[in-house]
Chains A and B, each alone.
Chain A
Amino acid sequence: GAGVSQSPSNKVTEKGKDVELRCDPISGHTALYWYRQRLGQGLEFLIYFQGNSAPDKSGLPSDRFSAERTGESVSTLTIQRTQQEDSAVYLCASSSSGPGTQYFGPGTRLLVL
């Protein structure tokens, strides 16, 4: 498959636990975005990676959220000490250069009990 993949597809966790979400972008895509989508709502920007530049973290809602990307490959989004309001679908998108045409993964549905 040549698309963006995300894992796990679904994650149920208990309040206070840490979770790690993974995104595999399309090969060769230098730009990678993470978004959060709460039920029935639009997408909220979380973080943007472009090549080896410092990421744009301006959308991260709190210091419990962090993300890493190794070069131009896999990215992980980590949520520490999860809260019930973190329950949402977390979507990853990649594009070939800068903020160009984005291709989305299927998302990870996170439920915090």
Chain B
Amino acid sequence: GIQVEQSPPDLILQEGANSTLRCNFSDSVNNLQWFHQNPWGQLINLFYIPSGTKQNGRLSATTVATERYSLLYISSSQTTDSGVYFCAVISSTGNQFYFGTGTSLTVIP
């Protein structure tokens, strides 16, 4: 299966700071999604972004499929951004989602 690596594994930010989370994957994909898992365990879809750039408020994401990586940008971070951010991909030849191990973000006031 595809290997999905996320970095950094842990991140602590002061409220208001910006951050970049990275997702590297080992094979070509036709589906890539970013999720936020809040401290209560609920997973929320942030972006469906197999390629290109998207923005939603303070969040944006860019996937460079030819170089097999995606970036999630968080600007002006807030305490409610805390949680774990997962990247998940589906290979071009399969149906199965492969999740990275996540980046655990803590935003302190």
Interface residues of A (CB under 8 A from B): 33, 35, 41-45, 48, 50, 56, 58-59, 89, 91, 93, 98-104, 106-107
Closest to A47 in B: B96
Does any Cβ of A come within 8 Å of B43's Cβ? Answer: yes
A41 touches B101 (CB 8 A): yes
Query: In whole Å, how far is A59's beta carbon from the nearest beta carbon of chain B?
Result: 7
A100 touches B48 (CB 8 A): yes
A106 touches B42 (CB 8 A): yes
Set of chain A residues within 8 Å of B88, measured between Cβ atoms: 43, 102
Majority SS of interface residues in chain A? Answer: strand
Set of chain B residues within 8 Å of A103, measured between Cβ atoms: 45
A104 touches B42 (CB 8 A): yes
**Chain B interface: which size bin?**
20 to 34
Closest to A107 in B: B41
Q: Write out, one digit per residue, whether chain B residues 72-109 have a CB within 8 A of any chain A CB (1) or not (0).
A: 00000000000000101010000111111110000000
Beyond A42-B100, A43-B86, whether A101 also contacts B95 by CB under 8 A is: no
Does any Cβ of A come within 8 Å of B31's Cβ? Answer: yes
